[in-house]
Amino acid sequence: MSKPMTKTELVAAIAGEMGSDKKTASSALDAIASVVARAVAGGGAVTLPGVGKVQCRARAERQVRNPATGETMTKPADKVVKISVAKSLKDSING
């Protein structure tokens, strides 16, 4: 496995694809991240074409076990972020 791409590397790659400078690419990336975070925090979902869908899901209260002590306890209901990968991305990796 290779190392994950850093934000600096991602900004440079976006700038190259867009044919613009890194400042513009960084602003675009920050804007996308902000829009996605705001929509998901509000309980919605965002589809990034060719990448996948980011959404907020509610998890019900459930029983969990402390691995150190073996004690069973109740974990309250909470919300989690779920990311579903787009079929086109899966196909490009496997094909």
- pLDDT tens column, 55-94: 999 999 999 999 999 999 999 999 999 999 999 999 998 8
Same domain, 91 and 55: yes
pTM of the model: 0.76
Residue 68: CATH number of its domain: 4.10.520.10
- pLDDT tens column, 27-53: 999 999 999 999 999 989 999 999 999
**Rounded CA separation 77/65 (Å):** 16
55-83 burial, b if ≥16 CB within 10 A, otherwise e? bbeeeeeeeeeeeeeeeeeeeeeeeeeee
The tally of domains found in the chain comes to: 2
Same domain, 63 and 35: no
Same domain, 33 and 54: no
- For residue 88, the enclosing domain spans 50-95
